[in-house]
C-alpha cells in the first residue's frame, strides 16, 4: 500500500510540475465545454424563405403574411420569377421556396382546394422534414380559418364582431405537443452532460497512455521494473493519480456546467460520481492497455487518438445512437463512452435512479474488468 502511495505521489508531482501538460489538461476541456456546448445544436431558427407569388391576390398575400409571422420563416426574397428563386436556392441563400400558382384564390374559392408549391433544400434531410411540417401546420391553420369565412354554414354564422365558432362538419385535429424532460428544448442541457464525459475520457485515456509510453521512451520504466514493486502495485500507483485528477475535473466541469449553463441536476450526484468512478477505471484501463502495446509516445498518441475518435463519434454524443444502423448499434454496445454518456444524461436530465441505469452500468463494469485484465496480462516487468 505504501509503495502504491509513493508512486502515486511521484506522479502527482510530475503532473503539477509540468505546466504545459497541466494547462492542456485544464484548459482544453474547458474550451471544449464552452465552445461545444454552444456549437452543437441542430436548432432550426427562422428558415430563410423565397416567395414566388404568381397570384397576387388578397388571400395569397395574407398566406405569405402567415408564414412571415409564424416565427419559423424569414422571407428574404420576393418576386414573381421562379428562375430567381432557383438561383437563391443554388447559392444557399434560401432554404425553402414557397411558390403560389396563378389563380390560387379563384381555385380555392371555386373548388375549395388549391395547391401551393414548397421547394426545399433537402441536403440536411432531417431539418427539411421539420421545416416541411412547420409549413404544413401554417397551411392547415390558414385553410381552416378560410373555411370559416368562405363557406360559413348558416347555423354557426357568427354575429358581427365575434370570432367565428369552429366550423361544423369540417374535421379538424388539434395537436398539442409536449416535450418531456426538456420542455424548453434547450440543447445545452443535452450536450453538456455528454461533454463532461469527453473531458474525463480524454484525461483518463490519453494521459495514461502517454505517461507510460513516455517512461518507456525515457528508460525510466526499466528503473521501476528492477524495483521490488509488483505489477498490480505499479498499475494501481499509476492509475490512482489520474483517476483522482479526472474525478476532480468532473467536479470542476459540473460546477461550470451548473454556473455557466444552468444545466439541470435532477438525479443524485452521488450516483453520478459512483458511476464515474467505475467508468474511469475503464477509461484508464484502456489507456494502460494502449501503452502496453506501443513503444513510443508518438504511437501512443496516434493509437489513442484513433480509438478516441472512434469512441467519441460513435458514442451518441454528437448524433443519436438510435439513428445508427443495427450493426453499428451492436458495435456501440462495446463502447464505454456510449454507456457513460447515456448514464450521465439519464441522471442529470431525466433524473434516473439506480434501477434505470443498471444496464449501462453493468456494461461499464464488464468493460472495466475486461480491459484491466487484458492490460495486466499484457504488461511485462521484464524487457525483451
Partner 1 sequence: MQALRGLLRKEWYHVLRDRRTLAVVLLMPVLQVVLFGFAIRTDVKDVRLALVVPRPDVATRELAARFEATDLFRVVRVLPNTAPLQPLFARGTIQQAVVFDADFGERMARGLPARIQLITDAAEPNTGTAMQAYASALVQEYEREQRARAGAVRILPQTRMRFNPTRESSNLFVPGLMAFVLTILASLMTAISLSREKEMGTMEVLLVSPLRPLDIIAGKVAPYLVLGFASVVLVLVEARLVFRVPLRGSPTLLLAEGVLYILASLALGILIAARTSSQRVAMTAAIAGTMLPNVMLSGFIFPIESMPVPLRVISHVVPARWFVEVARGIMLKGVGLEVLWQETAALAAITLVLLAASVRSFHIRLE
Report, in Å, the least distance between residue 110 CB and partner 1: 11
d(CA 345, CA 357): 10
DSSP alpha helices (H): ranges in 219-268?
220-225, 231-256
Nearest CA to 272 out of 176, 218, 350 is that of 350
Kindly tell me which of 159 and 327 has the beta carbon lying closer to partner 1: 327
Kindly tell me which of 2 and 45 has the beta carbon lying closer to partner 1: 45
What's the gap between Cα 346 and its chain centre? 13
Kindly tell me which of 179 and 382 has the beta carbon lying closer to partner 1: 179
Kindly tell me which of 288 and 332 has the beta carbon lying closer to partner 1: 332
Here the cell at position 357 is 441505469
Report, in Å, the least distance between residue 59 CB and partner 1: 10
Here the cell at position 58 is 388578397
Kindly tell me which of 94 and 229 has the beta carbon lying closer to partner 1: 94
Check if the beta carbon of residue 104 is closer than 8 Å to that of residue 121.
no
Kindly tell me which of 292 and 299 has the beta carbon lying closer to partner 1: 299
Report, in Å, the least distance between residue 381 CB and partner 1: 25
DSSP state for residue 204 in the 8-state scheme: I
Report, in Å, the least distance between residue 306 CB and partner 1: 7
Can you name the residues that pair with 78 across neighbouring β-strands? Answer: 51
Report, in Å, the least distance between residue 86 CB and partner 1: 9
What's the gap between Cα 13 and its chain centre? 36
d(CA 27, CA 14): 18
Check if the beta carbon of residue 35 is closer than 8 Å to that of residue 97.
no
Report, in Å, the least distance between residue 22 CB and partner 1: 12
Kindly tell me which of 233 and 315 has the beta carbon lying closer to partner 1: 315
Kindly tell me which of 186 and 293 has the beta carbon lying closer to partner 1: 186
Nearest CA to 293 out of 174, 179, 175, 212 is that of 212
Strands 47-53, 73-79: pairing is parallel
Kindly tell me which of 17 and 45 has the beta carbon lying closer to partner 1: 45
Kindly tell me which of 78 and 359 has the beta carbon lying closer to partner 1: 359
Report, in Å, the least distance between residue 91 CB and partner 1: 5
Three-state DSSP state, 366: helix
Output the CA torsion sign for 324, 327, 333, 335. Answer: negative
d(CA 218, CA 175): 67
Can you name the residues that pair with 77 across neighbouring β-strands? Answer: 50
CA distance to 45, 284, 315, per residue, from 127 (Å): 10, 38, 22
Report, in Å, the least distance between residue 296 CB and partner 1: 9
Cβ count near 20 (within 10 Å): 7
Report, in Å, the least distance between residue 11 CB and partner 1: 17
Report, in Å, the least distance between residue 376 CB and partner 1: 26
Cβ count near 357 (within 10 Å): 23
Check if the beta carbon of residue 350 is closer than 8 Å to that of residue 266.
yes
Amino acid at each position: 500500500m505504501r509503495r502504491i502511495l509513493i508512486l502515486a505521489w511521484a506522479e502527482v508531482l510530475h503532473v503539477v510540475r509540468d505546466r504545459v501538460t497541466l494547462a492542456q489538461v485544464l484548459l482544453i476541456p474547458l474550451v471544449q465545454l464552452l465552445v461545444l456546448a454552444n456549437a452543437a445544436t441542430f436548432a432550426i431558427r427562422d428558415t430563410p424563405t423565397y416567395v414566388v407569388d404568381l397570384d397576387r391576390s388578397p388571400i395569397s398575400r395574407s398566406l405569405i403574411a402567415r408564414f412571415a409571422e409564424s416565427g419559423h420563416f424569414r422571407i428574404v426574397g420576393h418576386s414573381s420569377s421562379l428562375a430567381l428563386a432557383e438561383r437563391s436556392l443554388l447559392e444557399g441563400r434560401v432554404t425553402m421556396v414557397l411558390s403560389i400558382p396563378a389563380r390560387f384564390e379563384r381555385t380555392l374559392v371555386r373548388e375549395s382546394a388549391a395547391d401551393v408549391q414548397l421547394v426545399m433544400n433537402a441536403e440536411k434531410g432531417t431539418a427539411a422534414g421539420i421545416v416541411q411540417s412547420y409549413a404544413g401546420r401554417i397551411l392547415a391553420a390558414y385553410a381552416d380559418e378560410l373555411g370559416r369565412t368562405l363557406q360559413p354554414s348558416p347555423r354557426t354564422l357568427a354575429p358581427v364582431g365575434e370570432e367565428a365558432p369552429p366550423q361544423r362538419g369540417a374535421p379538424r385535429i388539434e395537436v398539442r405537443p409536449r416535450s418531456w424532460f426538456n420542455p424548453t428544448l434547450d440543447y445545452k442541457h443535452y450536450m453538456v452532460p455528454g461533454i463532461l464525459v469527453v473531458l474525463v475520457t480524454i484525461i483518463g485515456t490519453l494521459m495514461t497512455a502517454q505517461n507510460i509510453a513516455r517512461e518507456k521512451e525515457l528508460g525510466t520504466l526499466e528503473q521501476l521494473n528492477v524495483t521490488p514493486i509488483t505489477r498490480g502495485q505499479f498499475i494501481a500507483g499509476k492509475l490512482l493519480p489520474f483517476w483522482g485528477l479526472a474525478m476532480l475535473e468532473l467536479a470542476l466541469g459540473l460546477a461550470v456546467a451548473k454556473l455557466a449553463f444552468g444545466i439541470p441536476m435532477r438525479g443524485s450526484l452521488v450516483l453520478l460520481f459512483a458511476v464515474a468512478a467505475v467508468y474511469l477505471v475503464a477509461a484508464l484501463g484502456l489507456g494502460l492497455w494502449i501503452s502496453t502495446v506501443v513503444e513510443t509516445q508518438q504511437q501512443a498518441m496516434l493509437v489513442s487518438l484513433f480509438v478516441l475518435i472512434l469512441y467519441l463519434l460513435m458514442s451518441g454524443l454528437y448524433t443519436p445512437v438510435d439513428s445508427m444502423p443495427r450493426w453499428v448499434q451492436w458495435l456501440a454496445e462495446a463502447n464505454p463512452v456510449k454507456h457513460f454518456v447515456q448514464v450521465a444524461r439519464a441522471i442529470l436530465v431525466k433524473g434516473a435512479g439506480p434501477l434505470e441505469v443498471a444496464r449501462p452500468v453493468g456494461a461499464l463494469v464488464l468493460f472495466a474488468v475486461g480491459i484491466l485484465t487484458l492490460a495486466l496480462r499484457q504488461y511485462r516487468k521484464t524487457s525483451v
